[in-house]
Amino acid sequence: MAFCLNRLTKTLKEELKYSKSINKPIIIIYDKKRGKRVKFGDNINVKEIFIDFHNTDKALHQIAEFLKNVSGRARTTESSLGVALIGIGLGLLALHVLSNNK
């Protein structure tokens, strides 16, 4: 999972390329207003999500659906725990972003 809220850093690009090369599922969360996309083509192991910090539920549902689709390799409990942890992280990130916008 990667958060790309502004520009892509060299390190992030390298890590994403490596994850893709070993065929790991990748979730990239962009800021809906200013995130810059990484171009992966039609890779089914990559899910790009543009988040609206006023509605993190939509992003969380998209993440859960993606993890459910790739969870053939993982147990459902692990997938559910991952979604719960991601939800907590998204909530904290939304609080940070929205408090800085005031």
The whole domain housing 22 covers 2-100
Q: Where are the beta strands (DSSP E) in the chain?
A: 2-4, 26-31, 46-51
Number of domains in the chain: 1
Rounded to whole angstroms, how far apart are CA atoms 5 and 37? Answer: 10
Mean pLDDT by 10 residues, the chain (102 residues): 80 88 87 71 80 84 84 60 79 80 60
Burial class (CB in 10 A: 0-12, 13-18, 19+), 92: exposed
Predicted local distance difference test score (pLDDT) of residue 78: 57
Predicted local distance difference test score (pLDDT) of residue 68: 80
The alpha carbon of residue 41 and the mean position of all alpha carbons in its chain are separated, in whole angstroms, by 17
Rounded to whole angstroms, how far apart are CA atoms 95 and 76? Answer: 29
Rounded to whole angstroms, how far apart are CA atoms 21 and 85? Answer: 26
End-to-end CA distance of the chain: 28
Q: What is the pTM of this model?
A: 0.72
